[in-house]
Structure 1
Amino acid sequence: MPAARFIVRGKVQGVWFRASTREQAARLGLDGHARNLGDGSVEVIAIGDAEALDALERWLHVGPPLARVDAVSRAAWPSDPRAAGRGFAIA
């Protein structure tokens, strides 16, 4: 199953970004997690259908209303089959 790691930069901490990402990922049927990083960015690991990953990436470029997204990077991520079906968490 495809997986990706996204790093989202901008005003993305303290603006409900992780919770909104979890909601969006659940709508898209993705598993994974979102967590704050020490440099002020948010890391998103998502596992699921390739089209759903693309849709999440498009959403991450916008984010929730209070966010200001400056950049989103995407890299392939090794998919762990044990993670499938676990839902999407906030770490």
Structure 2
Amino acid sequence: MKVTMTVSGRVQGVGFRYMTKIVADQLGVLGIVKNEANGDVYIEAMGSEAVVKQFIEEIKKSPAPFGYVDHLDLKETANFEDYHDFAVTY
């Protein structure tokens, strides 16, 4: 399963990307996470359906203790490369 997510709320400046990577690594999700210029965070994630769904639930709760998610725009897609790990990008 491959999904893209655009996450808004208090998601920049609170360790959100790094905590997202930790959750992804724990679950075995592959992909990327990066900040957007408008203050959102963009995520591409792939893995088994069950694992990706669990990852989405963790993102909705905000993996960063001082962050929060106001909105999560989720799209199921196959329109990105296959990843071999999960990376924080810039």
Scaled by the length of structure 2, what TM-score is found?
0.90
Taking every aligned residue pair, what percent have the same amino acid on both sides?
Answer: 26
What residue is the counterpart of 1:41 in the other structure?
Answer: 40
Instruction: Verify the 8 A CA contact 1:32 1:47 in the aligned structure 2.
Output: yes
Structure 1 unmatched runs, 5+: none
What residue is the counterpart of 2:17 in the other structure?
Answer: 18
SS at match of 2:44: strand
Counterpart of 2:88 in structure 1: which amino acid? I
Instruction: Verify the 8 A CA contact 1:36 1:42 in the aligned structure 2.
Output: yes
CA distance in 2, matches of 1:37, 1:77: 19
Instruction: Verify the 8 A CA contact 1:47 1:79 in the aligned structure 2.
Output: no
Displacement over 6 Å in runs of 4+? none
CA distance in 2, matches of 1:89, 1:77: 19
CA distance in 1, matches of 2:6, 2:51: 17
Counterpart of 1:90 in structure 2: which amino acid? V
What residue is the counterpart of 1:55 in the other structure?
Answer: 54
CA distance in 1, matches of 2:79, 2:19: 23
Displacement of 1:83 in angstroms is: 2.2
What residue is the counterpart of 1:67 in the other structure?
Answer: 67
Counterpart of 1:25 in structure 2: which amino acid? A
SS at match of 1:83: coil
Counterpart of 1:22 in structure 2: which amino acid? K
Counterpart of 1:30 in structure 2: which amino acid? V
